[in-house]
Structure 1
């Protein structure tokens, strides 16, 4: 899932800007309401994978015929009026699957915002590893809508906005490994609706919790300092998220997401402790380890270590000065 990261953003000045609402695709657009259409459009590219995030202030009609074998998974982030795609009525945080080579039509009756992933159908096996139905490419050959929990909408919209903003500011500073982590984080953010709509996984065989956790720890040790996303672990060990969560909770009393967060916080702590304040910033180190919201990151850091990251970075400088 690797690749270098690129981010581009622009302001919309007319409905024509929405012709490229999804990176790599051309969409026919007709304005439905009077006024000057304005908005914003951002694209994040990581290898062949892309995320598009757009917003606009007026109703539009969109039509698209795919000319390639890419799958599009879109999420409606906000809407002031009715939105329909195919024959589906959409609510904020609902997810729409648009199969390759399928003609797509949508109607936005008012101001709206959306996010859309575009990737190869062959990648679903790794993206949804451990989820038997979703990891099967055949599942994605039919259009579908996944209805969201209303609580997901605000969280998703805020987090995606933060990710796009932060990556745009620091795209040149990210390594290929960090870019891969953010690719997985973006996918995870948009597909949260899909996972929460799946039935509970109470069947199937799993490795023992302790053996699975030990295997994960060996995997993390081999990964070194690079951040590892939970979806990467599911892909590597062919286990569902629920199965991985059960194993970690049985062994540590915490889930794998919390465990990985602690792991990344410890990596940041070690980096800051060995860095010079004038040559390293907390923001850059945090972003390399997958933290986009600095305020929340500082809270996590303080809760775990009893000091703020700026203090860790500054402590070494003061000690060196005293020793001199």
Structure 2
């Protein structure tokens, strides 16, 4: 018997492209870091087994709704700055476990790359057969973070992109034996860190700060596109500006005023990308999202995205898909 191998790759020229950061999962994304966004995504499938590899050039905030019924196991491949998931501070080689139907939030403070597999809990016993600790369903029902051993973690961060690159070149139907071998190779790269993990650090954001930031973000999502002032946030959550600033800075590395402005700028960016110059003007879209001083808005926009809003307007992502894994390898070896 045989199984179809599929590898799909694309380049990204905006943070919006990370919405499908992991095959089959919708992730809400917001750009945090300043500069022109550049990224890449590769989704590799062997039957119903999938591996996703992504990279991006500036800091982003990612959130997954608790409606995904799959288990996601991810590894941080590289990071130029701090990376946090929930209250875990992560280093390259670390592994993160996202159980089914669990919300997730992560903050990447700079350029980063990751890898992740996504599978059914029912498949855990067969995927991790031979390892009693890993084949037990109870091991995967709680969110968790595994700190990598430096040698094992470094080897895994190199191994996963190399596997994806090799399979990209084949783009063929695999025998059952070959499919099983490559699945085991991918899984072993991730589980090596889990089985030989070091004690986790305790220097991540405080749970209370994470909870406040999450509640504020949920509130912002509930009001939709309406611009929200910082004083409204303080009143709704009965918190001082100082306490709010401390929580946001601990979790995201920037204050709440800057966060609110970035969130509105990201909404403007998405609206401009989806519009045609004949339909709207930059001024109309900016004012709808709470920007009145257009000169200042334009400066903020260019600082965050590396281009003027007029350059974004009417641009649609029609670029052909290049070999993303090769780009990942080139960046890693450079």
Shorter-chain TM range is: 0.5 to 0.7
Instruction: Kindly provide the CA deviation profile for residues 41-91 of structure 1, in whole angstroms up to 9, marking residues without a partner as x.
Output: 101111221100011110000000143421000000111111000111101
Task: Give me the whole-angstrom Cα distance separating, in 2, the residues matched to 1:80 and 1:57.
Answer: 9
1:177 equivalent to 2:166? Answer: no
Instruction: Kindly provide the CA deviation profile for residues 284-312 of structure 1, in whole angstroms up to 9, marking residues without a partner as x.
Output: xxxxxxxxxxxxxxxxxxxxxxxxxxxxx
1:190 equivalent to 2:219? Answer: no
Task: Give me the whole-angstrom Cα distance separating, in 2, the residues matched to 1:13 and 1:175.
Answer: 36
SS at match of 1:185: helix
Please identify, of 8-17 and 96-105, the stretch whose mean Cα deviation from structure 2 is larger. Answer: 8-17
For residues 127 and 153 of structure 1, do their structure 2 counterparts lie closer, same or farther at Cα, with a shift above 3 Å needed? Answer: same
Task: Give me the whole-angstrom Cα distance separating, in 2, the residues matched to 1:130 and 1:30.
Answer: 40
SS at match of 2:92: coil
Matching residue of 1:121 = 121
Per-residue deviation, 1:174: 3.2
User: For residues 138-177 of structure 1, what are the structure 2 equivalents within 5 Å?
Assistant: 138-172=138-172, 174-177=174-177
Per-residue deviation, 1:152: 2.5
1:88 equivalent to 2:91? Answer: no
Task: Give me the whole-angstrom Cα distance separating, in 2, the residues matched to 1:128 and 1:197.
Answer: 17
Task: Give me the whole-angstrom Cα distance separating, in 2, the residues matched to 1:155 and 1:133.
Answer: 22
User: For residues 144-293 of structure 1, what are the structure 2 equivalents within 5 Å?
Assistant: 144-172=144-172, 174-197=174-197
Matching residue of 2:54 = 54
Unmatched segments (≥5 aa) in structure 1: 200-324
Per-residue deviation, 1:173: 5.4
SS at match of 2:156: helix
Matching residue of 1:30 = 30
Task: Give me the whole-angstrom Cα distance separating, in 1, the residues matched to 2:94 and 2:74.
Answer: 8
Q: Is the 8 A contact 1:84 1:108 kept in 2?
A: yes
Q: Is the 8 A contact 2:68 2:102 kept in 1?
A: no
Q: Is the 8 A contact 2:8 2:43 kept in 1?
A: yes
SS at match of 1:3: strand
How many residue pairs end up in the alignment? 199
> How big is the alpha-carbon RMSD for the aligned residues of Structure 1 and Structure 2?
2.0
SS at match of 1:67: coil
Instruction: Kindly provide the CA deviation profile for residues 266-301 of structure 1, in whole angstroms up to 9, marking residues without a partner as x.
Output: xxxxxxxxxxxxxxxxxxxxxxxxxxxxxxxxxxxx
Per-residue deviation, 1:156: 1.5
Matching residue of 1:9 = 9
Task: Give me the whole-angstrom Cα distance separating, in 1, the residues matched to 2:17 and 2:191.
Answer: 26
1:77 equivalent to 2:84? Answer: no
Q: Kindly indicate whether structure 1 or structure 2 has the higher relative contact order, using CA contacts under 8 Å at least 6 residues apart.
A: 2
Please identify, of 100-109 and 189-198, the stretch whose mean Cα deviation from structure 2 is larger. Answer: 189-198
TM-score normalised to structure 1 length = 0.58
Task: Give me the whole-angstrom Cα distance separating, in 2, the residues matched to 1:91 and 1:198.
Answer: 12
